Structures are given as structure tokens and as C-alpha cells.
């Protein structure tokens, strides 16, 4: 009964340990912010803009350190006889399509990342990639 004062100290130490372990775990798992799977804008700003730029033109802050410059995502339709290459873009984001003709791809593969992010909800990752593809489509430069 005399050492009862030790109890709160033990509890604080325990809580701190749990928090520190939790943090370490979180960092190893996904260091990405959670976004709404139906907001293309939010996802693009969080996951793509560092390289592709907020406007998709390829001038994000990380672009300078890449070996390959991120392509301008606003001219995808223009470069494809005026029609947006929906399936190709979808597959590039998911990681099912190869982009570079040689060497290693510099762009991250998002399919597994999104599947991990919404582990408990089947189909969510696909929804994210669809939403992102539609968002990239909406960035296409208007040509008259």
C-alpha cells in the first residue's frame, strides 16, 4: 500500500511506450495523408502535385531531382489525336502499364498503395484511380 504513488508513473511510462511504438509503426506503413476517394483534386494535390505540379504541367518541387522530367499532364489528349487516353492513364496510375521504353520508371506505382490505404474496403482503390483519371482528364488544355 505504501508504493501506491508508483502507479501513475507506471501508467505514464506505459502510455508513452505505446505512443512511440504506434508512431514508428505508422511511419513504416503509409506516410501518406488520407484523402477522400471521390475528390480527384484532393488526391492529385496530395499524391501527384509534388512531381507533376498543382496544374499538372510538370513543374512540381520534386521534378528537379528526378532523372526523367514528369510529362505535362494537360496535353495528354492533344498528344493522342485529341482524345484523352483514359485506359492508358488509368493503367499508368495503377502500375499495370509500363511508361518508359527503357530504364526504370520514376513514377511511383499507386495501385498497391491505395489498396493498402483502404484495406478493409474492396473496390476503393479502383475508385481512387478512376477519380484520379477523371481529374487528369479534366486538366486537359482546351484546343479549339
Binding site for ligand HEC (CB under 6 A): 47-48, 50-52, 62, 66, 68, 70-71, 73, 76, 89, 92-93, 99-100, 105-108, 110, 132, 136
Q: Quote the least distance from Cβ 12 to ligand HEC, whole Å.
A: 40
Residue 132 in contact with residue 40, Cβ under 8 Å?
yes
Q: Which is nearer to ligand HEC, 26 or 99 (CB)?
A: 99
Q: Which is nearer to ligand HEC, 23 or 36 (CB)?
A: 36
Q: Which is nearer to ligand HEC, 76 or 117 (CB)?
A: 76
Span between the terminal Cα atoms of the chain, in Å: 85
Q: Quote the least distance from Cβ 48 to ligand HEC, whole Å.
A: 3
Q: Quote the least distance from Cβ 25 to ligand HEC, whole Å.
A: 24
Amino acid at each position: 500500500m505504501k508504493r501506491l504513488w508508483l502507479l501513475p508513473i507506471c501508467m505514464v511510462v506505459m502510455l508513452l511506450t505505446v505512443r512511440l511504438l504506434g508512431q514508428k509503426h505508422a511511419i513504416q506503413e503509409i506516410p501518406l495523408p488520407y484523402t477522400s476517394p471521390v475528390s480527384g483534386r484532393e488526391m492529385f494535390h496530395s499524391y501527384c502535385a509534388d512531381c507533376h505540379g498543382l496544374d499538372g504541367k510538370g513543374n512540381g518541387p520534386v521534378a528537379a531531382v528526378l532523372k526523367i522530367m514528369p510529362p505535362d499532364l494537360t496535353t495528354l489528349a492533344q498528344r493522342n489525336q485529341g482524345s484523352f487516353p483514359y485506359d492508358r492513364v488509368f493503367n499508368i496510375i495503377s502500375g499495370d502499364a509500363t511508361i518508359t521504353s527503357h530504364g526504370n520508371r520514376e513514377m511511383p506505382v499507386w495501385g498497391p498503395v491505395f489498396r493498402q490505404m483502404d484495406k478493409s474496403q474492396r473496390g476503393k482503390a479502383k475508385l481512387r484511380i478512376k477519380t484520379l483519371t477523371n481529374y487528369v482528364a479534366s486538366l486537359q488544355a482546351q484546343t479549339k
